[in-house]
Structure 1
């Protein structure tokens, strides 16, 4: 988790204290604490909470714990990265549909389309939207908020996160050049 938290920050995909990371182990998940600096994750930066139900540790877990739970309950994901990637967020604000269709070759091949879903941070609506979008896709973007990417490993989820941001950046630059 520390490795991928640092990579997210170092590559400008998230500011240090925003975003969250989790991994599923059987019926529990290890998730970053609320406000944890992703580029400085230690043993004290994460908590273990159940996938089903809640725990007293939810009070200190990420505000997006409800979203991670919904994703784990409704997909085969074993790892989730949530980042506030700037071009991805910008694309949700200017998109005129409920998805972004990549125009770069890698994005077309690996992502096909990137769903956009809505909901306030840490809300049941956001959790439901994320779980639905990620049941058929490896990555999606919460409107005005950021990417959620899933995988069997954090490495898988990281690749999806970077691909979404790359595709959104290319689309933004091409659209800008056309103006």
Structure 2
């Protein structure tokens, strides 16, 4: 399973959705989850960069798991997700700053409108229980959400599903940002 995590870690970095050492990926396997280690370079994942921890309780390995393990754990507890990708997608971060910590982003592109609908923006400190609860609540209704000033969280039945949602979130935020810039520029002429 770590090979699947490594595959999507490389894709995230190659497509500019994360910088190498930021973001995290997990897969659920029953009552356990495999999650990237804290500080792991997502484009260089090996078996040693992934840890297995319990979904329902804490573990001594939590200390080396991603700082967002608490969020992944809560999302798995409250949704039917089997895979989660957290990326630091730049346009999504910018749009979250414009929307506010409890806002919504309405895509202007047809694909975003069709596949995502609204995109919730949630607040909470990195690695906090507050953020974990806010994300789990949002992802019980949506396939993706953006953490204010921090990045996207996307869920799926597979990492492929979560990756597609991640790319859709970033694409819709990029189109919205470019559209708003062009609209403002046109209005200034």
TM-score (normalised: structure 1)? 0.99
User: Once the 2 structures are TM-superposed, how far is the Cα of residue 178 of structure 1 from its aligned partner?
Assistant: 1.1
Gaps of 5+ in 1: none
Matches within 5 A, 1:113-124: 113-124=118-129
Which structure has the larger Rg?
2
Residues of 1 paired with 2:19 and 2:133: CA distance? 25
Give 1:91-170 correspondences, 5 Å limit: 91-95=95-99, 98-170=103-175
- Structure 1 residue 108: deviation in Å? 0.4
- Structure 2 residue 178 is matched with structure 1 residue 173: yes
Deviation, 1:45, is 0.4
Determine the structure 1 residue equivalent to 2:75. Answer: 71
Instruction: Tell me the equivalent position of 1:62.
Output: 66
Aligned partners of 1:95, 1:24: CA distance in 2, in Å?
31
Other structure's SS at 1:80 match: strand
Count how many residue pairs are aligned between Structure 1 and Structure 2.
179
TM normalised by structure 2 equals 0.94
Counterpart CA distance in 2 for 1:42 and 1:116 is 32
2:10 counterpart of 1:6: yes
**CA RMSD of superposed structures (Å):** 0.7
Q: For residues 159 and 68 of structure 1, what CA distance do their matches in structure 2 show?
A: 18
Runs of 4+ that moved beyond 3 A: none
SS of 2:145's equivalent?
strand
Q: CA offset at residue 95 of structure 1?
A: 1.7
